[in-house]
A and B are shown apart, each in its own frame.
Chain A
Amino acid sequence: MIRITRKVEFAASHFYHNPDLSADENRRIFGKCNNPHGHGHNYTLEVTVAGEPDPVTGMILDLKELKEILNREVMQRMDHRHLNYEVPELAGKIPTCENLALVIWNLLEPKITRGKLDRVRLYESPDLYAECVAARNGASGKSA
């Protein structure tokens, strides 16, 4: 099996606020991320697809096709958007790096029909990322 990874970058704004908690609790838990005016990040998304290269083309999937899927499912939805207000898949969820990585996994997984989505790694900054991986056989760990 071979893995292929494509990277895209997008910029988006967000803030963290749980309406079920008091204003004080929101400030305590989320700190400056709770600022209602929002703030933004340059996100870097790495998407890995695993599979066997096609014997004729030598490719797992055409990178052009992967680029189009990422453009349609991620860039058009999220680039230069406010994640709290403009991405319906995040409605009712706090747009943390973890939740965003999961949303991106769920958007991409059914669209990748050549090869299999293997990993989604989303960097919110060079020092912080969330990662979703398909559990390997025998892997222990909690279901996300």
Chain B
Amino acid sequence: MSATTTELLLSLTRRYRFAASHRLHSAQLSEAENQRVYGKCANPYGHGHNYVVEVTMSGPVNPQTGMIANLPDLDAFIGENVIEAFDHRNLNEEIAEFQNIVPTTENVCREIFRRAARFPEARLERIGVEETGSNSFECTAEGEGTPS
């Protein structure tokens, strides 16, 4: 074992939930191609999921509070900017960013990352989104090229 102290990375992860509907359909594809690519997800009436969002923040622990990010502040920020915006909404119809891009969970994950990255108290490391218990997606600061 090395005598040097190990550099540690400390992070805090919080899980949130929202329920929303969407339809996977690209205006750039023909109807036949949409059917082939998206199958039943292209149903014009849409369908919905119970989404789970994991938000991971990193940074120094504030000695006054013992926290990387004050949880009520984080909950309020994510609540206002993500959960209230997305919960019980139709992602295609009601979220401006999905007017021109398909609200696949890849794109939902990236949009949540973009919104959560504005949280001022800590550095956003990762957004994970579970569309169902079987499908999950993630977006990281490293992958998105966010400066540290």
Contact = CB atoms under 8 A, between A and B. Distances in A.
Contacts of A142: 9, 58-60, 123
Contact of A29 (B7, B13, B60, B65): B65
B75 to A, nearest CB: 10
A134 interface: yes
Interface string A114-144: 0010000000001111111111000111111
B14 interface: yes
Nearest to A131: B11
B14 A132 contact: no
B61 A109 contact: no
With most chain B CB atoms within 10 A of its CB, the pick from A128, A129, A135, A144 is A144
B1 A113 contact: yes
Interface stretch (A53-61, A62-70, A73-81, A92-100): A92-100
A95 B10 CA distance: 15
Given A141-B148, A142-B59, A130 B11 contact: yes
Contacts of B66: 16, 93-96, 98-99
Contacts of B65: 16, 18, 29-30, 94, 96
Contacts of B58: 141-142
A102 interface: yes
Nearest to A100: B66
Contacts of A38: none
B64 A144 contact: no
A128 B10 contact: no
Contacts of B148: 140-141
A23 B103 CA distance: 46
A142 B123 CA distance: 10
A1 interface: no
B67 interface: yes
B129 to A, nearest CB: 15
A132 B97 CA distance: 35
Given A29-B65, A93-B66, A98 B14 contact: no
A67 B56 CA distance: 28
Given A102-B8, A130-B12, 19 more contacts: A29-B70, A95-B66, A96-B66, A98-B10, A109-B6, A126-B15, A127-B14, A128-B13, A130-B10, A130-B13, A131-B13, A131-B56, A132-B8, A132-B10, A133-B11, A141-B9, A141-B58, A143-B7, A144-B10
Interface of A: 16, 18, 20-21, 29-31, 93-99, 101-102, 105, 109, 113, 116, 126-135, 139-144
